[in-house]
Structures are given as structure tokens and as C-alpha cells.
Amino acid sequence: MATRWLERTLLFGLGLLTVTREKVVQFVDKLVEEGEVRAEEAPKVVERLVARGEEERDALRKLIRDEMARWAPPSRQDVEDLKRKVDELAARVDELSRSRGRRVAPESPAQD
């Protein structure tokens, strides 16, 4: 739950950092006024810049999700699966010890 909240917070911040189409249009219009871009090329420049921004945003989202997944705590199911495997291995060790004529000492209760 906390992981999901953190992811949403990071993605919200990402949303604030992305440039809106309106800002791109304003930027390109300024370039047209300054003679850096021809007026007939402006729509294509806007489309390229917006597409590039979306690609970058998607790549950053993927990176954030990948990193969040790396740091996510194990799920309850993961813990249960590991517990089951440990129990199976302990039973197998006990079985192998008995088949070799050795007896495994019973576990002593944990002392505080």
C-alpha cells in the first residue's frame, strides 16, 4: 500500500514536470517569431517535440516502476511460499538424517 502511494507521488511529480502541448506551441510560436523555425514547419516541430516528451515520460515511468518493484517488500504470498519451502526442506533433512541412522536433535525453544 505504501509502495503504491509512493509510486503515485512520484508519477504526480513527473506529471508536473512534463511540458504540456500548450507550452510547446507557445515555445515553437516564439521560435517562428524569432525566425528560427518557418511557420509552415511549426506544426511538425510541435508534433515531434510532444511525441519526444511523451516517449521520455513513458521511459521515466517505466524506470520508476522498475525501481519501485525492486524495493517492494515481499508479499504475504511470497512469505508463505518461502515458509512452505523451508518446512519441506526441514522435513527432508530430518528424513535423510533418520535414513542414515542419525537422529536430529529436537529444536530447543527460543530463549529471550
Angle between helices 21-33 and 42-71 (to 10 degrees): 140
Dist. CA 50–CA 55, nearest whole Å: 9
pLDDT score for 1: 45
Q: State yes or no: pLDDT of 10 exceeds 90.
A: no
Nearest to 48 by CA among 31, 61, 65, 70: 31
Q: Is 0.75 topped by the overall pTM? A: no
Give mean pLDDT, residues 13-19. 57
What share of the chain in percent tops pLDDT 90? 24
Strand, helix or coil for residue 58? helix
User: In this structure, which amino acid lies at residue 61?
Assistant: R
Report the run of H or E that residue 23 belongs to, with start and end.
helix 21-33
pLDDT digits (tens, 9 = 90+) for 27-72: 889 889 988 889 999 999 888 888 888 888 888 888 888 887 787 7
